[in-house]
Amino acid sequence: MFIKKNVDKWNEYQHHPTNDPDETAERFITLVDDLSFAKTFYPRSKVTRWINGIASGIYQNIYKNKKEKYTRVFTFWKYELPLLFKKYHRLLLFSFFVFTLFVIIGVFSSIKDESFIRGVLGDQYVEKTEDNISKGDPFGVYKSENPFTMFVQIAMNNTFVSFLMVMGGMLMGLGTIYLMAQNGLMLGCFQYLFFSKGLGSQSVLVIWVHGTLEILSIVIAATAGLVIARGILFPGTYSRMVSFRNGIKDALKIMIVLVPIFILAAFFESYVTHLMSNTFDKENNIGLPVWASVIILALSLSFIAWYFVFYPIFLHKKGFYFQKDGILKTPAITR
């Protein structure tokens, strides 16, 4: 009786779609009612699957061209990305720990064997840096005749390296860890080279003006790569392919936030660090007031810590949570 009463209607909905919004909405509501009844009393029936297919087709037709509000952009940066990082805080901590470990290995190995520095950084780079130090121009490597060209090259290079680090997650995370090891060892050797020459504090004030954002962004890019690796290795209740696709989507969202950070870091390196290296003198004047350099360092570190660590925790504690269709509040917060 249920089928006999509704079969003509279902055939009409399936074979004669309508472009009228009100009629489409009415059909969808009617089909959902029929589907609920069918699933309750005839869950294994082919008719139930048929009704579900018709309802799914109408649903997809309604939402395939759904327009997002302009506020969606603000919602993405204000809620969606921070809550996404809250989801992956453990991976972020793991990436930071692994990268720091390789930096320490680089420093320790350089202390034990200074030839290790040449093996990591290359003879040409080390000899050029030592020559600059002997001339009283230790940061000459950052000098460029055209800061804008330097800015474009640095921004593109940093984005490319981070992209490789993310794609390394497809190799079960081995590619990402390899690049972390490579960059961590280079950083450890690079910093030891300056500290061993008595230029440790000056190198921090000059190089880390741009290095704070640059290095921490590399750690975050490594986290994105491990997100993909986790999707492959630990699919949970999803199929491995679905888990992999979800990991790719989340990793790409992380890459979106890194692009403006890399651009800002490139600006600092090509203009601020460039200025400081050009005006550095033998009396250790870094070309910029120490307080200004410290403020840039503090603001850079504070921004990374706030946006990627503390702000996501704050949102989570306030009861915000993320769903595929947007950012919602828990019932307690809504009330």
Q: What is the pLDDT of residues 249-282, one digit of tens each?
A: 999 999 998 999 999 988 888 877 766 665 555 4
* DSSP secondary structure letters along 157-168: HHHHHHHHHHHG
Residue 222 structural domain: 82-327
Residues 43 and 152 in one domain: no
Residues 30 and 109 in one domain: no
Cα dihedral sign, 323-325-328-330: negative
Rounded to whole angstroms, how far apart are CA atoms 112 and 57?
68
The answer to whether residue 332 sits within a structural domain is no
Rounded to whole angstroms, how far apart are CA atoms 314 and 308?
11
pTM, two decimals, is: 0.74
pLDDT score at 125? 86
Rounded to whole angstroms, how far apart are CA atoms 269 and 16?
63
Q: Collapsing DSSP states into helix, strand and coil, what is residue 17?
A: coil
Rounded to whole angstroms, how far apart are CA atoms 209 and 6?
71
Last residue of a domain, one of 12, 34, 63: 63
- Low-confidence stretches of the chain (pLDDT < 70) are 63-72, 140-145, 274-288, 321-335
Phi then psi for residue 326, to 5 deg, are 140, -175
Residues 111 and 260 in one domain: yes
Residues 86 and 46 in one domain: no
Rounded to whole angstroms, how far apart are CA atoms 250 and 14?
36
Residues 59 and 174 in one domain: no
Extended strands (E) in the chain: 320-323, 326-329
Question: CB of 304 within 8 A of CB of 212?
Answer: yes
Q: What is the pLDDT of residues 89-124, one digit of tens each?
A: 999 999 999 999 999 999 999 999 988 999 998 888
pLDDT score at 226? 96
Residues 19 and 162 in one domain: no
Chain centroid, CA 235 distance in Å: 20
The answer to whether residue 68 sits within a structural domain is no
Residues 250 and 310 in one domain: yes
**DSSP assignment, residue 67?**
P
Count of domains observed in the chain: 2
Six token digits for residue 251: 């990793």
Residues 50 and 130 in one domain: no
Residues 37 and 161 in one domain: no
